[in-house]
Chain A
């Protein structure tokens, strides 16, 4: 993707550094480390800190498709990994706090965790119960009933940061799993990637939905437009996916995503049909209604449940990943719905009026 516009001193210095040769300027790297340490200490809330979330997003992007004009060698440059860890530590802490607040006092389902021997059905049941509690304002009902066509575009733009690389962050964990959870994840991911048919890849379906609304469906094209919390939502997946120790969290994340998907996608599709869009645009949503009703069963029982059976000590992180996903998405939803209810754009820079 093209390099994003900096949102503060850290992202500015990072993006500037990335345009140079890796390792060529040790002093600049040291300076960046100092700046990140200081900024991460002073931020009010790293989850909504535009500068820090963008910096982390750029660092993670080096492990995906990369940034235009940035040397691939930067990916494993030790100085940059050090910067990433400086950002990841407070980010993970903030996610754990947000998850704790969202989860409230330990639910009775957590007894299985205390007993230390969770079985896969019990884990699936716990995750389904978490998904069912999911409260807060509903983006899907708003999209179904009220969203204007401009708001539909904004909705796609927020989603595009992840959906144009849909499934990729969860793929990182495949080699970190064995046996039943691995087979389960591969089965889900194969479906996400279209079962071998490029045009059926979920990212490709999403791109066609964007095309149908006249949006730019090239990867990363709207990163500059989305708020920090939208970046945090994607950074969370990269954090969980790229750190093997968080393999529990990424499976919990995927399970809860699948479990909170079928119904909302039915409503999203309805919102686009309400504005007269046809199958080419709604196929992405229609596909998810059916696919995720399959995936939620496999992800809850065989992936997350299977992992908890194999490594019981990971159950806590499985629930953390699930709860953090719900908490961050609730914040993003609140941001979007509040803006729309006030008659404002939910983007950092409103979309230009159609030419």
Chain B
């Protein structure tokens, strides 16, 4: 059995989804500024970064409706 596929000390990873949310997986905690835990129902979460989600801090797909563009990590974006 290969138990070594995870990176050593792989606490969490943050994926910047092109034109979309921030995906976080691994071992982490989401808290309010005062330190209270934010309710969380799944291991891997998508955090809103377009500002339009109705279920913040989580993503609800609204970035697609407002045509949110990140520009940065997307592949080829000739017209920017």
Contacts and interface: CB of A to CB of B under 8 A. Distances in A.
A290 B41 contact: yes
Contact of B61 (A119, A190, A191, A293): A293
A293 B21 contact: yes
Given A195-B43, A262-B60, A294 B65 contact: no
B18 A296 contact: no
B15 interface: yes
Nearest to A197: B41
A118 to B, nearest CB: 11
Given A121-B74, A191-B42, A298-B23, A293 B58 contact: yes
A256 to B, nearest CB: 13
Given A263-B61, A289-B60, A195 B21 contact: no
Contacts of B20: 297
B18 A291 contact: no
A50 interface: no
Interface in A92-139: 119, 121-122, 124-125, 128, 131-132
B41 A287 contact: yes
A111 to B, nearest CB: 11
Given A125-B75, A263-B61, A293 B43 contact: no
A275 to B, nearest CB: 20
A301 interface: yes
A64 B36 CA distance: 44
Contact of B44 (A119, A131, A294): A294
A311 interface: no
Given A293-B58, A294-B42, A294-B45, A263 B65 contact: yes
A124 B16 CA distance: 14
Interface in B3-60: 15, 17-21, 23, 25, 41-46, 54-55, 58-60
Contacts of B75: 119, 121-122, 125
A287 B41 CA distance: 9
A298 B62 CA distance: 17
Contacts of A301: 17
A292 interface: yes
A266 interface: yes
A266 B54 contact: yes
Contacts of B18: 121, 124-125
Contacts of B42: 191, 195, 290-291, 294
B17 to A, nearest CB: 5
A297 B60 contact: no
Contacts of A45: none
A125 B64 CA distance: 12
Nearest to B73: A121
A119 B18 CA distance: 13
Given A125-B18, A132-B64, A262-B61, A290 B55 contact: yes
18 contacts: A119-B75, A121-B18, A121-B74, A125-B18, A128-B19, A187-B44, A191-B43, A261-B61, A262-B60, A263-B61, A266-B54, A287-B41, A289-B60, A290-B42, A290-B58, A292-B61, A293-B60, A297-B20
Given A131-B64, A289-B55, 7 more contacts: A191-B42, A263-B62, A263-B65, A289-B61, A290-B41, A293-B59, A294-B23
Interface of A: 119, 121-122, 124-125, 128, 131-132, 187, 190-191, 195, 200, 261-263, 266, 287, 289-294, 296-298, 301
